[in-house]
Amino acid sequence: MADSTQSVSEPLVPVPFWRVPWEFAVHALVGSSIFGIIAVAAVLLNMGVVRLERYGIGPVITVGLKLIEYSIFAVDLILFEVFLYRTAKRTIKHL
């Protein structure tokens, strides 16, 4: 098996000045898109719950579905913030 450690004598390859901000922009765009997709799922679930309430479905079921809806959105929001924080931290480190 090959040793995965990098030799100290290997020269560092210079990175173009635009590369780090570009990677941040791409990560932010992709992360925002994933956040939006999951948020749309939570919104659709909300619309479904409202429709179920109009048809007189029991409160236990609607409360459970609302709890799931809010949980999905809250976890999505928290993970999105963590993702942006870590991406910004990595970007600042590589500048």
Query: What pLDDT score does 61 carry?
Result: 93
| Percent of the chain topping pLDDT 70 | 88
Asked whether residue 26 is domain-assigned, the answer is no
Q: What is the pLDDT of residues 12-41, one digit of tens each?
A: 778 788 899 999 999 999 999 999 999 999
What length is written for the chain?
Answer: 95
Number of domains comprising the chain: 1
Q: Is residue 45 part of a domain?
A: yes
Where residue 56 falls (left for φ over 0; alpha for ψ -120 to 50; beta otherwise) is left
Q: Residue 47: which domain range?
A: 39-94
DSSP, collapsed to helix, strand or coil, labels residue 18 as coil
HSE of 90, CA atoms in CB hemisphere, 13 A: 14
Alpha-carbon span 24 to 30, nearest angstrom: 10
Asked if residue 62 is part of any domain, the answer here is yes
